[in-house]
């Protein structure tokens, strides 16, 4: 589905189709641009480094492996895909707007700031873990404090199980039953499964509206309703391109990242205008709709049902608002039933097949990187948003964490387990020679605004004073 040069959804490159001498990041960047139906505004420039060197230099290798074992290589060029996504965005962006950024390094910045370490089948952040069920493996992500209160209903036991008892209870049940029942209850979990034979589109158009005139001559306004990592990274990158970003939060349920490490929150959110509203009140809903009406780009990571309960129908708003680009980030995509499933970066990557791939290559059960689906999706979302804005908008673009990872896994992936293991050995040796680095983060240059610091100023300009 496409219009005006935008044609999202081109299939991934077949396995084993790239010459070893090819710049993988540049090839991936070109593939993304081709899928958008766009040509770069300036010569495409991507780091010409081997995918193994990109993985080793990014910090992701240090984050992957057993806690008391060696750092592990990923035999899919995931870090190079991050480099490629950033290069594709830079090729459409104002000159020098993204200078100093390293796509692969962005995937491990949180771990660098929070001093996270690899822990085998447990995520570096500690919330997600691989468990053996009766007929396979699952990833369970207990990221919220109240997730533990859902465990008795999930496992059909009387009391909340201890961390030690949890593996025993899970091992007695089938993986499909566990995943289906857990998703109905609102748990973030997925089966540990092989990558899809045919990669999904990294982005899809789910609604279309009218275009607006050329975007040249003014900077877009971005209304960011998202939280945590993927969406805020997307708006952070758009801010680097010159966009005005308004971060909108619920007054009583702000972005959960505010409760995390302040330096990481500052890194992603400094310079954004912060608005706090009460979306449950009639006044708050009116304010929210006025903010959306003022936007060129909206970014959100909510389940559609929750937004519709607030009177916000993204599809209808895109159809009614010429030029609006709406970026919808979800765990597993829009549409029933998957749009109702909860997901975070670690379990979404397992759903895409990343942990299964690592087990094939290493014989170890591993969580790969730190919530890797989040920053990888944030990079791709920024490209989708900027491309749509440049072409006149009028699109609701859906990106799912698991599908972005699956798209990257399918890019130049060996076609057999034997070839996968051979690549693992070759790339590991190359990484050792090039140097395995700890995760790195950019310096924090400013603090993010406090919750609601800009509410009155922003709403006054919209005629919606508090």
Tens-digit pLDDT profile for residues 340-370: 999 999 999 999 999 999 999 999 999 999 9
Q: What pLDDT was estimated at residue 306?
A: 86
For residue 12, the SS3 value is coil
pLDDT confidence band for 413 (50 / 70 / 90)? confident
pLDDT at 238 over 50: yes
Name residues whose C-beta falls within 8 Å of residue 278's C-beta, 6 or more positions apart in sequence: 250, 251, 252, 284
Q: What is the mean pLDDT of residues 36-51?
A: 93
User: For 325, phi and psi rounded to 5 degrees?
Assistant: -105, 125
- For position 383, what pLDDT does the model report? 98
When pLDDT is averaged across residues 256-276 and rounded to a whole number, the result is: 97
Mean pLDDT of 382-404: 96
* Average pLDDT in the chain: 93
The separation between the first and the last C-alpha atoms of the chain, rounded to the nearest angstrom, is 41
Please determine, for residue 281, whether its predicted confidence score (pLDDT) is greater than 80. yes
pTM of the model: 0.95
Q: 423 pLDDT exceeds 80? A: yes
Beta strands 244-250 and 273-277 are parallel
Helix axis angle, 51-58 to 78-92, nearest 10° = 90
Q: What is the pLDDT of residue 19?
A: 55
**What confidence score (pLDDT) does residue 196 get?**
85
Q: What confidence score (pLDDT) does residue 415 get?
A: 85
Residue 20 banded pLDDT, cuts 50, 70, 90: low
pLDDT in tens, 119-173: 999 999 999 999 999 999 999 999 998 999 999 999 999 999 999 999 999 999 9
Q: What is the mean pLDDT of residues 94-101?
A: 95
Q: Give the sheet arrangement for strand 204-208, strand by strand.
A: 204-208, 395-400, 325-330, 297-300, 221-224, 244-250, 273-277
Q: What token pair was written down for 295? A: 């936007």
Distances (CA, A) of 196 to 200, 340, 357: 8, 21, 11
Identify the architecture of domain 24-120+196-461 in CATH: 3-Layer(aba) Sandwich (3.40)
**Residue 252 φ/ψ, nearest 5 degrees:** -105, -5
Question: Domain map of the chain by residue range?
Answer: 24-120+196-461
DSSP alpha helices (H): ranges in 93-174?
103-106, 109-114, 151-155, 166-171
């Amino acid at each position: 589905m496409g219009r005006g040069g935008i044609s999202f959804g081109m299939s991934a490159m077949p396995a084993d189709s790239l010459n070893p001498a090819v710049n993988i990041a540049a090839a991936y960047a070109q593939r993304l641009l081709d899928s958008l139906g766009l040509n770069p505004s300036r010569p495409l420039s991507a780091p010409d480094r081997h995918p193994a060197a990109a993985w080793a230099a990014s910090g992701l290798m240090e984050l992957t492996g057993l806690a008391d074992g060696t750092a592990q290589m990923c035999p899919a060029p995931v870090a190079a895909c991050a480099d490629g996504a950033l290069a594709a965005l830079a090729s459409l962006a104002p000159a020098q707007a993204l200078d100093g950024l390293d796509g692969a390094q962005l995937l491990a910045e949180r771990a660098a700031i929070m001093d996270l370490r690899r822990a085998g089948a447990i995520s570096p952040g500690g919330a997600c873990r691989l468990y053996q069920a009766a007929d396979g493996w699952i990833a369970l992500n207990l990221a919220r404090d109240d997730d533990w209160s859902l465990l008795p209903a999930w496992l059909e036991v009387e009391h909340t199980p201890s961390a030690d008892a949890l593996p025993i209870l899970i091992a007695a049940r089938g993986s499909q039953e566990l995943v289906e029942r857990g998703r109905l209850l609102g748990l973030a979990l997925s089966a540990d499964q092989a990558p899809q034979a045919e990669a999904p589109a990294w982005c899809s158009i789910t609604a279309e509206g009218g275009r607006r005139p050329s975007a040249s001559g003014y900077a877009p306004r971005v209304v960011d309703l998202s939280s945590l990592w993927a969406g805020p990274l997307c708006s952070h990158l758009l801010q680097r391109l010159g966009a005005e970003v308004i971060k909108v939060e619920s007054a009583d349920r702000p972005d959960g990242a505010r409760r995390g490490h302040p330096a990481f929150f500052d890194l992603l959110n400094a310079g954004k205008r912060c608005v706090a509203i009460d979306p449950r009140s009639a006044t708050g809903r009116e304010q929210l709709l006025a903010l959306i009406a003022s936007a060129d780009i909206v970014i959100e990571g909510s389940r559609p049902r929750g937004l519709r309960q607030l009177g916000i129908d993204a599809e209808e708003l895109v159809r009614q608002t010429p030029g609006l680009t709406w970026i919808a980030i979800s765990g597993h995509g829009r549409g029933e039933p998957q749009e109702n499933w909860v997901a975070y970066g670690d379990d979404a990557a397992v759903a895409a097949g990343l942990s299964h791939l690592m087990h094939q290559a290493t014989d170890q059960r591993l969580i790969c990187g730190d919530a890797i689906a989040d920053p990888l999706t944030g990079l791709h979302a920024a490209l989708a948003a900027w491309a749509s804005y440049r072409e006149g908008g009028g699109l609701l673009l859906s990106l799912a964490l698991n599908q972005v990872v699956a798209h990257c896994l399918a890019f130049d992936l060996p076609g057999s387990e034997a070839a996968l293991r051979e690549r693992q050995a070759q790339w590991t040796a190359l990484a050792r020679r090039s140097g395995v680095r700890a995760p790195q983060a950019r310096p924090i240059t400013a603090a993010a605004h406090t919750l609601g610091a800009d509410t009155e100023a922003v709403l006054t300009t919209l005629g919606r004073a508090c």
